[in-house]
Structure 1
């Protein structure tokens, strides 16, 4: 006998599965900014029904990840550069304090978990697995919020950080990032001094450097029309170069 409510719970689970699959595809540029999304193609790609896909697109439209153009179709939204900058500012402002609070609450178990995540990042770097490195970096930051007792703050940031995440992944795909520098910040956390008498001020802070807001050039061939807007310095005369900020969170 099927327990009461099981069918409804299964439908809800499949709806979440459909939504998360499409959302993940957008974050990791499987469905790139500006791509047209066909319901039938998504159904075939994900092995899901049309109703589930349509409901997912409605939710993603509410989150501004897709947009519908009348008499044309549904498209993946381009990255909103102003949203990227705002979220980067929020994360840099918060994570300096989060790192302090997390270090102050470290115990043997949480320290071991951070070491494990650091090792995963190092393995991904050595294997030149950009997706694994990206995911391990996100998990490391999430763990800091968890240790600090601020998981709700992380959930809020994750919700508003979608354009930042998309931008970071595109940078991972198109640039040679200094992964050693990123891992070096993580090592500063796991090498926290634990001797008796160290107060909260002794714990390391991950302060953003001044260079994190400099501008870099990205060829349009690498990022063709993916941004909602482009910033160009007055001295830029070439038409095939767009400019976007370098963020501490790449």
Structure 2
């Protein structure tokens, strides 16, 4: 069975944009099923799209082709990239969307696509006019080397939300997603951060006054309306409330910075212990 083409966009389902992309794929790659990863990314929320991609990537079969169109710079001279990661292809604009994924797969290769072959592409809808034809070429056996030129990952756009910032006994992280239940997903992978917090009883949020956070493994273990920290199913640490919205309680939104206070095992010491 041909590998699927997986769509991740901020287009929603009210407008015809997703349907038009699927129509192009049905015409150019009729044997490749088009699967929806998500079209509910908040408009232009590149960080949220990066999280969705990174959390979902390995749940799709090898040779899958991901089309990731959260692209505030559409029509400008920003590059369109094709990465070969863990035997899968990912197409995305060069706006940071790929960086969390590429940081976890150091053996990935990346190419800047040649856009001159697409003629009269709309200046505002590259998802339909460029990304879909590129995906169809890959589905038909084309390679990134035939469609573009190699580019070093160090040359790619790297936003400041990619990595948390450690200082003394604090770590400043970013809210990368708030799910339907109001759980606040931080850009802290559960491994290694869950293991690096050595005194969970002293984990606090740096507010006035600081809020204590209880480590928990399930929602039900938390007393009602008590703030907790959990290793979520998507592989990241989440701030949660049992039966309520942690986001509303903390008054935070996508992109907000949160500072955790605790005693962290230094990164170098953690690496040595786990060699």
Question: Structure 2 length as normaliser, TM-score?
Answer: 0.24
- Between Structure 1 and Structure 2, the one with more strand by share is 2
Q: Greater RCO between the two (CA within 8 Å, min separation 6)?
A: 1
Q: Hey, which of these two has a bigger chunk of helix by percent?
A: 1
